[in-house]
């Protein structure tokens, strides 16, 4: 089964859904054989736990009905969750477990994979849960939709990890505080628009099946359209390493599907920096930046698959602490490159003698800090304009009518920061085109039919955010 960890920090502003959850809390409070009522603060924690569990399980079910959510209920784990800056303050061990038990006894939540403890202490597995058919039906009856869900502003969006990629607590700092405020501005921009895929529900289910088992990161396991805000991740307990944006569904969306991304129901364009980390190094060395830094390694002009392997191997060489430690990248193909992995790795190194000292130095994470600052500046610019700008590390997705503005600002920002000119490239989306197999034309739907899939989600978003729609700048 596919699974992901529990995230307690989801909430809703939909009055109908809120009223349903309030009623559910009342019903669950009456279950069991409690001798006396909970104190006011304990009852508040119990109800907050019920809402958090239901909303996160609903988010999982809506994104992929086969997706499980692992929820730890041990005292130690729950105490850590309540005390961590990455957790949720409302969690307490007793009331959270009470909420889990009540939801199960009431027939609303089911254990899909039981807890397992390894007697040797080497491994283990928390219990995984899913919504029951009853709760799925009741949420459907009240019209619950992923557009009703939003991530609370309170959990930490500036995340620091150690060398083992584990989150670490940190003391307040001026940098983190300022970065957090800028992140709020970016997330307000992202939440004010609806991003979706112009694919039928049947096609999405097919794509989920195709993605199964191909990637490890949790975001790639489902199309979680509710996840439309971002956080920043810094690495090795160092604010100068990493800093890239993660968390939104489109960031892990397979590149072959990104042309189908819509913003507010409109076709998009994706613009990226050509060979960004290589361009940064050329600028640092005072050398002119080639239009495509990877072109020298290509045997077939315009072969995107070969270029993708060159780019990923080049960046892996920059990220690694030593050349010898670099394992074969995912989906490497000797049929595409005509070389074994070892020979291809050496070929890339030999093709860039000017960067020999950078390969195997770990400089990649420091370059990521620079490219994430570029991304932050681009998104803040579009936030001030009132338009959506979706980040995908070194590229950005905007309404197709904003391509020139994005091109100009990306080039200008790079030149201001690095003192050199860089090329950007665009890929137009196909979301408003007619696809006889799968894509109904957005403007040719039968008005007598109830909207389905992405059209229904967009309608629901505008219904919940009518004030936002009136305030948005007009784009065709």
**In angstroms, rounded to a whole number, what is the distance separating the alpha carbons of residues 371 and 79?**
36
Q: Is 150 helix (H, G, I), strand (E, B) or coil?
A: strand
Measured in whole angstroms, how far is the alpha carbon of residue 20 from the centre of its chain?
28
pLDDT tens for each residue of the chain, 476 residues long? 688 999 999 999 999 999 999 999 999 998 865 556 889 999 999 999 999 999 999 999 999 999 999 999 999 999 999 999 999 999 999 999 999 999 999 999 999 999 877 666 666 679 999 999 999 999 999 999 999 999 998 889 999 999 999 999 999 999 999 999 999 999 999 999 999 999 999 999 998 888 876 655 544 567 999 999 999 999 999 999 999 999 999 998 988 999 999 999 999 999 999 899 999 999 999 999 999 999 999 988 888 899 999 999 999 999 999 998 889 998 899 999 999 999 999 999 999 999 999 999 999 999 999 999 999 999 999 999 999 999 999 999 999 999 999 999 999 999 999 999 999 988 888 766 434 334 444 443 444 467 788 999 999 999 988 766 666 677 76
Residue that the structure tokens 């990923």 belong to:
312
Beta bridge partners of 262: 196, 267
Q: Is 192 helix (H, G, I), strand (E, B) or coil?
A: coil
**In angstroms, rounded to a whole number, what is the distance separating the alpha carbons of residues 43 and 25?**
10
How many Cα atoms occupy the beta-carbon half-sphere of 178 within 13 Å?
A: 6
DSSP letter string, 203-260: HHHHHHHHHTTT--SGGGGS--TT----EEEE-TT-TTSEEEEE-SGGGSS-TTTGGG
Q: Is 56 helix (H, G, I), strand (E, B) or coil?
A: helix
- Which ranges of 271-303 would DSSP assign to H, the alpha helix? 276-284
Backbone angles phi, psi at 110, to 5 degrees: -125, 145
């Amino acid at each position: 089964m596919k699974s992901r960890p529990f995230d307690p920090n989801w909430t809703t502003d939909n009055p109908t859904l809120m009223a349903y959850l309030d009623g559910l809390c009342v019903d669950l409070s009456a279950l069991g054989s409690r001798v006396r009522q909970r104190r006011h603060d304990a009852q508040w924690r119990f109800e907050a736990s019920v809402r958090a569990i239901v909303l996160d399980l609903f988010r999982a079910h809506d994104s992929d009905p086969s997706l499980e959510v692992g929820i730890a209920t041990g005292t130690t784990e729950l105490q850590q969750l309540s005390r961590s800056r990455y957790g949720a303050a409302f969690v307490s061990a007793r009331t959270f477990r009470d909420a889990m038990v009540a939801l199960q006894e009431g027939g609303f939540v089911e254990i899909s994979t039981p807890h397992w403890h390894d007697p040797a202490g080497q491994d283990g597995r928390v219990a995984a849960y899913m919504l029951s058919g009853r709760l799925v039906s009741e949420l459907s009856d009240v019209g619950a939709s992923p557009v009703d869900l939003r991530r609370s502003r309170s959990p930490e969006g500036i995340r620091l990890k150690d060398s083992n990629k584990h989150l670490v607590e940190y003391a307040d700092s001026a940098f983190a505080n300022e970065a957090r405020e800028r992140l709020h501005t970016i997330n307000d921009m992202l939440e004010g628009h609806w991003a979706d895929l112009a694919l039928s529900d049947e096609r999405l289910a097919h794509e989920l099946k195709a993605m199964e088992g191909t990637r490890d990161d949790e975001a790639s396991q489902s199309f979680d359209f509710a996840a439309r805000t971002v956080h920043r991740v810094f690495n090795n307990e160092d604010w100068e390493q990493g800093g890239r944006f993660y968390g939104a569904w489109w960031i892990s969306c397979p590149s072959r599907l990104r042309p189908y991304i819509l913003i507010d129901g409109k076709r998009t364009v994706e613009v990226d920096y050509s060979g960004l980390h290589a361009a940064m190094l050329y600028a640092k060395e005072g050398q002119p930046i080639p239009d495509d830094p990877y072109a020298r390694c290509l045997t077939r002009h315009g072969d995107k698959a070969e270029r993708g392997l060159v780019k990923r191997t080049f960046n892996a060489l920059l990220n690694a602490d030593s050349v010898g430690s670099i394992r074969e990248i995912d989906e490497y193909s000797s049929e595409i490159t005509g070389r074994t992995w070892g020979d291809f790795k050496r070929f890339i190194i030999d093709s860039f003698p000017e960067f020999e000292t950078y390969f195997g130095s770990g400089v990649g994470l420091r370059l990521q800090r620079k490219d994430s600052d570029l991304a932050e500046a681009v998104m803040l610019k579009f936030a001030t304009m009132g338009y959506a700008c979706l980040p995908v590390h070194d590229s950005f997705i905007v309404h197709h009518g904003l391509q020139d503005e994005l091109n100009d600002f990306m080039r200008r920002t790079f030149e201001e920061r690095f003192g050199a000119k860089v090329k950007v490239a665009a890929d137009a989306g196909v979301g408003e085109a007619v696809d006889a197999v799968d894509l109904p034309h957005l403007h040719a739907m039968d008005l007598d039919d109830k909207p389905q899939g992405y059209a229904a989600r967009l309608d629901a978003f505008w219904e919940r955010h009518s004030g936002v729609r009136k305030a948005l700048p007009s784009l065709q």
